[in-house]
């Protein structure tokens, strides 16, 4: 019925779909359009991110792995034998696998992740490879306060690899680090992976690779909105743009409208001018003293820091 397009049924129900739809509608209604980077990771987006981590230009993942492998024994020495290792936003267990061989006396491993199903399957896989390890998965959004499982050993080390901290505004990152301190309790340590400020050309290439994988990752967000919320984004009408903003020490990713156009999302029209962008991600980069100062605001003291020979990436050990 051509007369009733605006009376089409509401998008898929369910709390997740609703929160996603509300965030998208609010972000597109803002004077400077934005979408949250946390929505990149549907199954296609997660697969594209895995592909990004293997790109020649994308140095963070392989560099952090090398640091964890090379300095695993020193990192592990910060946790008393029998203590608990708590990984915030564990996702795949690839990173902790680099540390576990150095922690033979680990009392418990607590992966924390929102995706309960993924958490369970990853914990099962890990249990097969480390059969004597006590694994206590906690399904929670680590950005909000949550309770650790009961009867955890008193000695605790938090683990927050992957430079996920870079996705948060510095103010929010400090709040998050404070919340980790309270969750872990007195006397805890925290190991955080932090990408370093470096030459703009290196950073620009890492987020705008020659093969176009990061472009596909960015554009996939529009495909997800089309499918899950009901929208008519034409993916060919938007272009990937990523650059290092030197003043703010962050990578910005945008989707640039290639022409004047109107896109309808959940029956709401949004006008785009040619060249107007949707800001989809920030990835903050820090210097070593800069990150230590941020952590200090949350009550953490820098104990040690490890980097690779080229100074691309850092792994910080902090204590309360």
The answer to whether residue 11 forms part of the interface with ligand AVJ (CB under 6 A) is no
Nearer to ligand AVJ, 76 or 280 (CB): 280
What kind and span of H or E run contains 48? Answer: helix 43-52
Nearer to ligand AVJ, 63 or 283 (CB): 283
What kind and span of H or E run contains 134? Answer: none
How many CB atoms are located within 10 Å of the residue 86 CB? 27
Contact 181, 188 (CB under 8 A): yes
Contact 147, 117 (CB under 8 A): no
List 155, 166, 194, 314, residue binding ligand AVJ (CB under 6 A):
166
The answer to whether residue 214 forms part of the interface with ligand AVJ (CB under 6 A) is yes
The answer to whether residue 163 forms part of the interface with ligand AVJ (CB under 6 A) is yes
Contact 256, 277 (CB under 8 A): yes
List 162, 203, 215, 305, residue binding ligand AVJ (CB under 6 A):
162
List 39, 207, 306, 313, residue binding ligand AVJ (CB under 6 A):
207
Give whole-number Cα distances, 121 to 74, 91, 220, in Å.
30, 11, 25
Contact 83, 102 (CB under 8 A): no
The answer to whether residue 34 forms part of the interface with ligand AVJ (CB under 6 A) is no
Estimate to the nearest angstrom the gap between the alpha carbon of 252 and the chain centroid.
Answer: 14
The answer to whether residue 148 forms part of the interface with ligand AVJ (CB under 6 A) is no
Chain position whose Cβ is nearest to ligand AVJ: 283
In the complex, minimum distance from the CB of residue 271 to ligand AVJ, in angstroms, rounded to a whole number = 27
Burial class from Cβ neighbours inside 10 Å (0-12, 13-18, 19+) for residue 260 reads: exposed
Nearer to ligand AVJ, 189 or 283 (CB): 283
Euclidean distance between CA atoms 130 and 128, whole angstroms? 6
The answer to whether residue 281 forms part of the interface with ligand AVJ (CB under 6 A) is yes
Nearer to ligand AVJ, 208 or 228 (CB): 208
Write the DSSP symbol of residue 197.
Answer: P
Find, among 106, 25, 22, the residue nearest to 278 by Cα. 25
List 90, 167, 189, 314, residue binding ligand AVJ (CB under 6 A):
167
In the complex, minimum distance from the CB of residue 316 to ligand AVJ, in angstroms, rounded to a whole number = 15
# of chain residues touching ligand AVJ (CB under 6 A): 11
In the range 40-59, which residues lie near ligand AVJ by CB under 6 A?
52
List of residues contacting ligand AVJ (CB under 6 A): 52, 60, 162-164, 166-167, 207, 214, 281, 283
């Amino acid at each position: 019925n051509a007369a009733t397009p605006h009376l089409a049924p509401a998008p898929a129900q369910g709390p997740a779909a609703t929160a996603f739809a509300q965030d998208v509608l609010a972000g597109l209604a803002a004077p400077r359009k934005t979408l949250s980077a946390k929505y990149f990771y549907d199954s296609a987006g997660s697969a594209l991110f895995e592909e990004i981590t293997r790109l020649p230009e994308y140095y963070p993942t392989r560099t952090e792995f090398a640091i964890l492998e090379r300095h695993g024994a020193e990192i592990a020495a910060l946790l008393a034998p029998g203590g608990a290792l708590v990984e915030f936003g564990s996702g795949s267990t690839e990173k902790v696998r680099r540390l576990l061989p150095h922690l033979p006396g680990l009392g418990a491993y607590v992966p924390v992740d929102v995706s309960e199903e993924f958490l369970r399957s990853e914990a099962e896989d890990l249990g097969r490879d480390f059969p004597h390890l006590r694994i206590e998965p906690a399904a929670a959004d680590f950005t909000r306060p949550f309770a650790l499982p009961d009867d955890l050993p008193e000695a605790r080390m938090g683990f927050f690899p992957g430079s996920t901290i870079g996705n948060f505004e510095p103010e929010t990152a400090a709040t998050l680090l404070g919340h980790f301190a309270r969750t872990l309790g007195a006397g805890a340590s925290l190991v955080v992976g932090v990408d370093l400020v470096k030459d703009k050309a290196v950073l620009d290439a890492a987020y705008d690779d020659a093969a176009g994988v990061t472009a596909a990752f960015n554009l996939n967000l529009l495909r997800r909105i089309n499918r899950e919320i009901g929208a008519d984004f034409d993916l060919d009408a938007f272009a990937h743009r990523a650059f290092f903003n030197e003043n703010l020490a962050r990578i910005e990713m945008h989707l640039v409208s290639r022409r004047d156009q109107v896109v309808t999302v959940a029956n709401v029209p949004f006008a785009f001018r040619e060249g107007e962008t949707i800001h989809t991600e920030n990835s903050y980069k820090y210097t070593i003293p800069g990150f230590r100062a941020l952590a200090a605001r949350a009550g953490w003291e820098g104990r040690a820091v490890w980097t690779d020979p080229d100074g691309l990436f850092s792994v910080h050990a902090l204590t309360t």
